[in-house]
Structure 1
Amino acid sequence: MTHYVAIVEEEEGKAVGVWFPDLPGCVSAGDSLDEAMANAAEALTLWVDVALEHGQPIPAPRSLVDLKRDPEISPELAQFMVALIPLRPQLDAAQ
């Protein structure tokens, strides 16, 4: 099963934000960490559904090691939490 790395921005007094470095514009949030993780899985599914609907390629997920080598992403990885969000198995097969 394919998993995408999500960066989880949790700051006191703010909603928990989640974004995917490999999927431009795929973002989500929640009032709690649990809610943000559930919303992130839904956002990932919706992002992929829309891309497939429009005939757009789905970027392959990079490993955490590869993301740490990316100078645009590595500062975010050092500052925030990381989560692996699974792509629905039926969408994984469609790629």
Structure 2
Amino acid sequence: MPLAYALIHEEDGVFGISFPDFPGCVSTGRTEEEVLRKGAEALAFHVAGMIEDGDPLPIARNLSELRADNSFSDDSAGAILALVPFDPPGRAVRLNISMDETLLEAVDRAASAAGQSRSAFLAEAVRRRLKDAA
């Protein structure tokens, strides 16, 4: 799983997280744990959006490369440096599955209510289940 360096700053009891290699990807939290969790979610969403928009993903720099960047030196002053894992989405693969029709109707209703396609709804459900199983 790829890792991205993150900078965590604290000001007046609020933590902020940013990613030097993913400009514009930021989040906040009330604790270090919350900001890391929310930062990981923001990074996953940011990367998925880049892929959906057809934007190339940046090549993640190592710590030596980041330290050689003057803007990183300025931005990292007083920050905690963290590594945040992210799972870039892969290429969509079409599959054929069998499912009880009543369950499928319930899936379609829930997906519609969530404003999602059936595929997006099922993929999200699988991701949650896999996360819970880990």
TM > 0.5: yes
> Corresponding residue for 2:55?
56
**What percent of counterpart residues are identical?**
36
Contact in 2 for aligned 1:6/1:18 (Cα 8 Å): yes
Structure with greater proportional helix content: 2
Q: Which runs of 5+ in 1 are unaligned?
A: none
Instruction: Give the 3-state SS of the residue equivalent to 2:42 in structure 1.
Output: helix
Determine which structure has more spread, i.e. the larger CA radius of gyration.
2
Q: Which runs of 5+ in 2 are unaligned?
A: 92-134
> Corresponding residue for 2:38?
39
Count of matched residue positions in the alignment of Structure 1 and Structure 2: 91
TM-score, normalization by structure 1: 0.87
Instruction: Give the 3-state SS of the residue equivalent to 2:76 in structure 1.
Output: helix
TM-score, normalization by structure 2: 0.63
C-alpha distance in structure 1 between counterparts of 2:55 and 2:42, whole Å: 17
Letter in 2 for 1:8: I
Distance verdict in 2 for CA 1:71–1:82, change over 3 Å: same
Deviation at 1:77, TM superposition (A): 2.5
> Higher relative CO (CA 8 A, sep ≥ 6), structure 1 or 2?
1
C-alpha distance in structure 2 between counterparts of 1:81 and 1:64, whole Å: 13
